[in-house]
Amino acid sequence: MSNYLKITLIGIILIMLGCSSNSDTSSSNENGRLKVKFVSTDSLKNTLSKSPSRLKAPSNLPSWYNETLVSDFAQTAGKPEEFKFKFVNIDLNPLNNADGILNIFNNSDGKEISITSSKVDISNLFENTLGYDVFCFNDNDKEINCQDENGSENKDISYVEYEIKTGTYNQIRTELKAKAQMKGCLTQSYSDNTFTPGTHTYCTQTNNSIFNNYGQNIDFENKTSEFTDIDLWSTAAPERDDFLADYGIPGNITISTNEKATLTLLIDTNRVMRFFNQANGINDGEAPDGISDKSYFFSSKIDHDMFIFVGDPGKIEGYSYYAKECTMDGGRLSDIPNDRFCDQNSSSFDSMIKGWVTLVYDKNNNPLMINVKSDYHHGNIKGNNLKGSGAETYHDTTAFQTNNDNTMNISTLYGDENPTVLTIENFQNIEAGNGFEATFTTSNDGFNFVGWGNIYFIREF
C-alpha cells in the first residue's frame, strides 16, 4: 500500500485560502505575509452561524423511520470531547517548480494540535526554527508573544503570520503521524440482533485501543472517558508511522508584498470518533478492516475529513440525517422508481441509516462544499463534492443544482477508484431546529449496484 494519501472526502480538515489587501505586511520586496489559522467545526459555526443550535431531537420523525432497524448495526459515530494529532511537515509547492518548495513547518517527532468543543490549540505547532519571522495573534486579532513569560507555548495563540518568500503556489503537502488520540463517549440503542441489546454508553479507554489489545464491550461501558490511541490512516489495523496528505489549491495562492494570503484549516469532528461493538452474526466484511470479534474505538481515514478551497466561508450548516435505503445489484439508474419510494417490506430493502452533513457556503451565500458521512462505516450515503487529485483537487460547485422551487439537487462522490455517486434530491434551506424530507439515489458502476430511498434531514446549526 502506498504511503501517499490523496485527499478526497467528509469529518474534517477544511483548508480555505484567500487574500486580503494589506500593504504594510512585508519588510522587503522579497517577502510577504502568510496567515495560518486552524479552526474546528464548532469554532467556525460559533463565528458564522446566525441560527441557534438544536437542543434535542424533534418528535416528528417520518413514520417510515424505524430506529430498531438502525440499531441492528454494531456501530455508532459522533464527536469526541477532545481530539489530538500531530503534524510532522507542511510544505507549499510552487506553481513554477524552479522556485523551490516553501517549508513552513517541520518537526521529525511531530507537533500536536488539540481540538475541543471550544478551542483549537495550535500553540505547539509554530516555532521560529525555519529562518522566517513569525508573529502570533489572539482571538481579538491582537499581536501577542508566541511564548508565555515562562518560555513555554502561549495557549492564547489563535493564529500566526509568517513573513516568507513571495511566490505563487498551487499545492499544500502535509505529513502527519498516523497515531492520534481521542477522548469521549458514544451512546447507542442496539437491537436484539446484536451482541448487546438495549441502550449502552461506551467510553474511550487507554488500555483498550487498536494499538493495545482492542477490548470487549464490557471494557468500555459506563466508564470515565480516557484518551485512547486511534489511527488516522488505516482505521482499525495500524500499518505505518507517518503518511503524506496532498491538497491542491484551486485558483492557486499568491504571496506578494502588498497582499496577505490566508491559510485556514478547519477540522470537522462531528463524526470523527467511531465505535465498533462486536455483534451476533456480523461478518468480517461489515467490520472496519475486517476485525469483527473485538470492540474498539476507531476513526475514519483522515482524508474523509479534509478539504481545500479558495476564499473565506460565508456560513456553515450542520444536519443530522435519517434514511431508508433500497439497493439493487446489477441494476441501473433507470431501474429506480421515479418516486424513489423504498418499500421496507420488499426484497430490495437494505437498511435504515443515520448520518451527518456539513455544508459550507461562500461569501455570496452560494454553496461551496458538502461533506456527507454515514454513522455506519460501510454505509453508501456518504461523499463530498471534491474532484481531481493532488494539485488538481478542486471543489466542484456544479454539484449543486438549484431547482425551480429553490430546493437543490446535490451530487457527491465517495472513493478514489470506481467512486459511489450519491445524489440528494430537493434539499431545502431551513432554519436550525427544523426538518424536511427528501429523496436520494446512489450508484456505482465498478461494483455494479444502484440504491434509492427516502431521507429526512434535521438542521442542527
Residue with cell 513571495: 166
Domain hosting 160: range is 4-459
Cell numbers 479534509 label which residue? 306
Sign of the alpha-carbon torsion through 300, 459, 71, 426: negative
The pLDDT score that the predictor gives to residue 170 is 84
pLDDT digit string (tens) for 127-174? 655 677 888 999 889 999 988 777 778 888 988 888 888 888 888 888
CA distance 447 to 441: 15
C-beta atoms surrounding 280 within 10 Å: 11
Query: By the 8 A CB rule, do 164 and 32 touch?
Result: yes
With bands split at pLDDT 50, 70 and 90, how would you rate the model's confidence at 26?
very low
The DSSP symbol for 442 reads E
Secondary-structure breakdown of the chain: helix, strand, coil percentages, each rounded to the nearest 5: 10, 50, 45
For residues 428 and 323, is the Cβ–Cβ distance under 8 A? no
**Closest C-alpha to 452, from 342, 350, 343:** 342
HSE at residue 343, side-chain half, CA atoms within 13 A, is: 7
Q: Specify which of 185-194, 196-205, 233-242 reaches the highest per-range mean pLDDT.
A: 196-205
- CA–CA gap between residue 193 and residue 191 (Å, rounded): 5
Quote the CA–CA distance of 166 and 251 in Å, as a whole number: 17
pLDDT tens track for 196-209: 778 899 999 999 99
Element (H, E) at 70: helix 67-70
Per-residue cell: 131: 529562518
Beta-bridge mates of residue 320: 356, 458
Q: With beta carbons less than 8 A apart as the criterion, state whether 74 and 189 touch.
A: no
**Number of C-beta neighbours around residue 349 at 10 A:** 16
Q: Are strands 400-402 and 408-414 parallel, antiparallel or unpaired?
A: antiparallel
Query: Tell me: the pLDDT tens digits for 67-113?
Result: 777 766 778 899 999 999 999 998 888 887 656 788 888 899 999 99
Most confident of 117-126, 150-159, 446-455: 446-455
Q: Which amino acid is at 383?
A: G
Contact 180, 232 (CB under 8 A): yes
> The C-alpha cell of 248 is what?
491542491
How much is the pLDDT for 405? 94
Neighbours of 333 (CB within 10 A): 12
User: Which stretch, 285-299, 385-399, 419-433, has highest mean pLDDT?
Assistant: 419-433
- Length of the chain as a residue count: 461
pLDDT digits (tens, 9 = 90+) for 352-403: 889 999 998 887 889 988 999 998 877 889 999 888 776 677 788 899 999 9
- Counting the structural domains of the chain, the total is 1
What is the Cα Rg of the chain in Å?
22
Q: What are the pLDDT digits (tens) for 36-76? A: 888 787 777 776 654 444 434 455 788 888 877 776 677 88
pTM: 0.86
Q: Which long-range contacts (CB under 8 A, 24 or more apart) does 64-69 make?
A: 64/324, 64/344, 64/454, 65/322, 65/324, 65/352, 65/456, 66/324, 66/344, 66/352, 67/189, 67/352, 68/191, 69/191, 69/351, 69/352
